[in-house]
Copies of this chain bind each other. A is one copy, B any other.
């Protein structure tokens, strides 16, 4: 157990704060609600970006960039949308500061005719542009993604999970038919599921949001929900089928193949730096974070062990060619050859920072023609002959990736259970027992009542849930599928 990190058992919430600080992933900023993403945290986000960007492009999307500022009147054009974001909007009202004689502070000047909203999401500004770009079915589909910062004023903040400003990607696509747009929303949900499971090693439940939880302005919101180690749910990505709502709000029509004018169909989808927090909470332990190999900037952390320069030369003579071989195979590594630090210090730091595989070489290893591999997630130590190391290391990394997923999946499976009555749900939530699979046929108000009384929200209506007849736990109305209720971040 690392010093300065509260054990998870004792206080999971404090553990998260400690581990984010100690691993130097992020820091609070002097502006309330905003965070600074430090290099260690940003490196994880960069790897996530690379993997996602590649997947988006392979699915035919291109990147673009739309303005940070949205005229207030644009936000107001889609009724549900503005209701959803009105109370979280940072507003720009002036364009400068001026010195006024006799005052020590500068004074705002250049009052704008209309306040500008810092984008909380970009549907409105993007659809205002799409109006100019789309005339005919030949201009469709339009498959655009943007990497950007957004601002949603939040008072109860938590590094990565909930901050006033965060980084994200937002895809905004335009289609000629409802079916095509629906298919796109589901396709991107699958991209997110694949990314979460295959890169983050984080199992998720994919499905639909309820009426009460969907995106303001969406017809349907799809999402992936993950379970953190404290058994709370975390929404890890959303994909919205927007129907013609934004096309109507911004009057975006196209000439279809039958020469008729029709409103365009839309989707939008996004994941954010929140995923860095999800990764920490899915895999981290009392010694620090654990980064899955496929998202590690340096999957291999090499520590040479020596007591004098002669030993160092011998050890480096073995280590350096091996690292060169790894590099040739595209395996990232970091060599920690700082003389002033002891190996023990380096091991602890390596565990804190979550490099998935430590590679140790000491004089005894040189003598035996071997290297030592230490897996971060289970502390397993393994000696491998030097000759085989370069073949062995990628296999071990693959095994680590898959074991991390299995471990998280075991947690999810173990703590996801059917709940048959409302009382049972209440008890389950009091005991923090995880995801409750309930029959449900309530409306938005019913959802609110459940949240008030149990702190659980309807997280997701699973897409691959089995059809099963039953009765709603709250209303007793007939239901044909179970949904997931859970406490959530």
Contacts and interface: CB of A to CB of B under 8 A. Distances in A.
Given A90-B95, A94-B93, A96-B89, A42 B67 contact: no
B92 A96 contact: no
Contact of A68 (B89, B115, B165): B165
Interface in A120-160: 125, 128-129, 132, 144, 148-149, 151, 153
B62 A39 contact: yes
Given A67-B165, A132-B27, A149-B149, A97 B93 contact: no
Contact of A64 (B37, B62, B82, B90): B37
B97 A87 contact: yes
A116 B105 CA distance: 13
Contacts of A39: 62-64, 144
B72 A97 contact: yes
A110 interface: yes
A390 interface: no
A67 B38 CA distance: 11
A29 B66 contact: yes
A430 interface: no
Contact of A86 (B69, B75, B88, B96): B96
Contacts of A91: 92-97, 108
A201 B376 CA distance: 46
Of A39, A97, A116, the most chain B CB neighbours within 10 A belong to A97
B65 A42 contact: yes
A434 to B, nearest CB: 33
A99 interface: yes
A31 interface: yes
B153 A67 contact: no
A167 interface: yes
Contacts of A29: 66-67, 125, 129
A118 interface: yes
Question: 3 shortest A-B CB distances, which residue pairs?
Answer: A34-B67, A39-B62, A37-B65
